[in-house]
């Protein structure tokens, strides 16, 4: 069955008339009627009940109509994307990042775009490692950043940098203290289920610490805002402390120390363009230079 046959059928449903549908499609009514009859013969059931005065769609016809609409919509979307490949010199580079990487990844993309001035990007934050893996394997993203290594034979996982988790506090909350134990402090932590929270919970278990968690938030940005309001102290990755949201806050190292490694990941079997490979290399080189 061809897409054009589905479009003929959908037109008959829309106009509830073979004559009006034929006029809309710029074909003859006998040709349209013959197409629908052939479809019904191929399917093995009636799509319409016809009388001399009207036509009515059958129950199976309604179900077929719903499927047909979805197929037609998907077909046209696919065709548009194929034309985009022809007219667009440089398809979007799609990458998933971590919230803590916003600051430095923006610098890297800025440098990359000076080399490829017509390049566009699609950037999303993903904090679920399994989702990052799925997006890479399904060709949805070119690059994914994670805070743990991805052990998958199809994915190349390269360490970029190591960083510590630190405590952010209002200015002068702990003057002259460079490292602090956090067991009894009112803490603002990431929500359960996030990779950062898993790191912190593992740390608390190892250190036999019962944290005083007064608030859980989805983003470091929100955590920093609540610290500004004096509602508690937030545990964040050290690199995030470079962000705008932590201005006018103090940073204190946690003791014993807790750290993590950030990885850049991409699908090995995918034929990456020169531009994607260049962006990967610039991410790696950025941390080779800054470390």
pLDDT of residue 291: 59
Task: Name the pTM for this structure.
Answer: 0.69
CA distance 135 to 137: 6
pLDDT tens per residue across span 47-100: 999 887 888 999 999 999 999 988 988 888 787 777 666 655 668 899 999 999
For residues 238 and 251, the answer to whether their CB atoms sit within 8 Å is: yes
pLDDT of residue 204: 93
pLDDT of residue 51: 84
pLDDT of residue 105: 95
Residue stretches of the chain with pLDDT short of 50: none
pLDDT tens per residue across span 265-280: 999 888 888 999 999 9
- Report strand pairing: 186-190 vs 233-237: parallel
The owner of tokens 């990052």 is: 132
pLDDT of residue 271: 86
Cis ω for the linkage preceding 256 (within 30 of 0): yes
Reduced to 3 states, what is the DSSP secondary structure of residue 220? helix
């Amino acid at each position: 069955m061809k897409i054009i046959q589905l479009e003929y059928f959908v037109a008959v449903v829309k106009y509830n008339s073979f004559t009006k549908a034929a006029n809309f499609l710029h074909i003859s009514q006998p040709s349209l009627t013959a197409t629908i009859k052939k479809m019904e013969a191929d399917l093995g059931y009636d799509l319409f009940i016809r009388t001399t005065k009207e036509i009515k769609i059958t129950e199976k016809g309604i179900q077929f109509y719903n499927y047909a609409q979805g197929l037609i919509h998907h077909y046209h979307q696919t065709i548009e994307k194929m034309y985009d490949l022809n007219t667009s010199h440089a398809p979007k580079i799609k990458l998933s990042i971590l919230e803590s990487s916003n600051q430095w990844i923006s610098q890297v993309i800025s440098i990359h775009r000076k080399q490829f001035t017509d390049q566009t990007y699609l950037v999303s934050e993903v904090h679920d490692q399994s989702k990052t893996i799925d997006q890479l394997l399904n060709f949805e993203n070119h690059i994914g950043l994670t805070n743990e290594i991805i052990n998958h034979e199809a994915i190349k996982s390269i360490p970029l940098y190591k960083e510590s988790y630190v405590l952010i506090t209002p200015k002068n909350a702990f003057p002259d203290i460079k490292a602090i134990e956090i067991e009894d402090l009112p803490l603002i932590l990431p929500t359960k289920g996030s990779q950062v929270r898993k790191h912190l919970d593992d740390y608390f278990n190892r250190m036999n610490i019962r944290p005083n968690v007064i608030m859980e938030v989805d983003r470091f940005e929100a955590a920093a805002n609540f610290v500004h309001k004096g509602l508690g102290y937030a545990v964040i990755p050290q690199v995030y402390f470079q962000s705008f949201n932590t201005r006018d806050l103090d940073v204190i190292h946690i003791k014993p120390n807790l750290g993590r490694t950030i990885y850049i990941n991409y699908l090995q079997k995918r034929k990456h363009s020169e531009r994607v490979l260049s962006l990967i290399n610039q991410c790696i080189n950025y941390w080779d230079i800054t470390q």
